[in-house]
Amino acid sequence: MEMRSHLGRVRGLGSSNDGVGHWWLQRITGVALVPLTIWFVYSAIGLAGADLAQFKTWVGTHANPVLLSLLIFTMFHHGQLGLQVVIEDYVGSEKIKLTLLIMTKFTAIIFGGYSIFAVLRLTLGG
Amino acid sequence: MATRNRPLSPHLQIYAKQVTSVLSILHRITGVTLAFGAFLLANWVISATYGADSFAMAQGVLGSWFGRLVLFGITLSLFYHLGNGIRHLAWDMGKGFELIQLRTSGMFVVAFTLIMTVLTWIAAYSAAGAN
C-alpha cells in the first residue's frame, strides 16, 4: 500500500523505492548461507593441498556439485546486496554511486555465472 | 531526487568506542572482505577447468605464505560474519535487545570466531599433510 503523498514521492522524499524486497532477500540468502558455508569450510579443509584429480573427484561426488553451485549463487547474491548497502551509505555522488552499483551487479553475475558454469563443466563435460 | 539541506547526525568520531558499535562496523568490514573472498573461490573453481597446471598454480598461490595469510583473514571474517549474522537474525525476530544481552551475545560471537578459526586451521594443516 502506498502511504506517501504524491507530492512527497515526486520530490523524492521518504524511502527509496524497494527497501523491503532488498531487506528480505538479504535475510533469506543469509539464512541459506549458514548451512552452505559450514558445509564448504568442512569440504575446503579436506581439499588443502589437493591436486586436480582429487578436486574433480570431490566436485563430482553426490550432492557436492549442487551444493557448490547453490553456495556460489547465494554467496554472490548476498555479497552484491551487502555491497549495495555499503555503496549507498558511503558514496555521495549520484554518478559514482550508480556506476559502482552497476559494476558490482555485473561483476557478481559474471563471476557467479562463470564459476557455476565451471562446476557444470567439471561434472558433466570432458 | 530533491536536494535540500537536511539535518545530519553527529559524525562518528564524536562517539566513544563501545562493544556494540565496534562489533557493528566489524560486520560490515568482514562482509566486504568476504565479497573479495568470493572472487578467490570463483577463481579457484574456474582454474580447475583450465587443466591440472592452472589448478596447481591456484592451489600454490592459496598455499603460499601470503595466500595462507589472506585465507586466514577470510576465515576470521567468515566465522565472525556467520556468528554475528545469526545475532542479526535474532534481532530481526525482536530478541536480544537488552544491553546485557547485546554484550553477552557480542562476546560470544567473538569467542566463537576465534575458536572456530583456530580449529579450522588445525584441521586444514593436518589435511594438507595427508594430501
The rounded distance, in Å, linking the Cα atoms of B108 and B86 is 12
- A13 has a pLDDT exceeding 80: no
The mean pLDDT of B27-51, rounded to a whole number, is 95
Of A48, A55, A119, the CB nearest to B55: A55
Q: How far is B18 from chain A (nearest CA, A)?
A: 21
Q: Is A7 on the interface with B (CB under 8 A)?
A: no
Q: How far is B99 from chain A (nearest CA, A)?
A: 24
Q: What is the pLDDT of residue A71?
A: 97
Q: Which three cell numbers stand for residue B21?
A: 558499535
Q: Point out the least confidently predicted range of A60-64, A114-118, B2-6, B78-82.
A: B2-6
Q: Point out the least confidently predicted range of A24-28, B61-65, B127-131.
A: B127-131
Inter-chain contact A55–B48, Cβ cutoff 8 Å? yes
Chain B residues whose beta carbon lies within 8 Å of the beta carbon of residue A5? none
Q: What is the pLDDT of residue A126?
A: 57
Q: Point out the least confidently predicted range of A14-23, A59-68, A83-92, B101-110.
A: A14-23
- pLDDT band (50, 70, 90) for residue A43: very high
Only one residue has cell 539464512, namely A31
Q: Which three cell numbers stand for residue B90?
A: 535474532
Contact B109, B23 (CB under 8 A): yes
Residues A109, A115, A119: CA angle, nearest 5 degrees = 140
Q: At what angle do helices B99-130 and B65-92 cross, to 10 degrees?
A: 150
A48: nearest Cα among B78, B131, B64, B34: B131
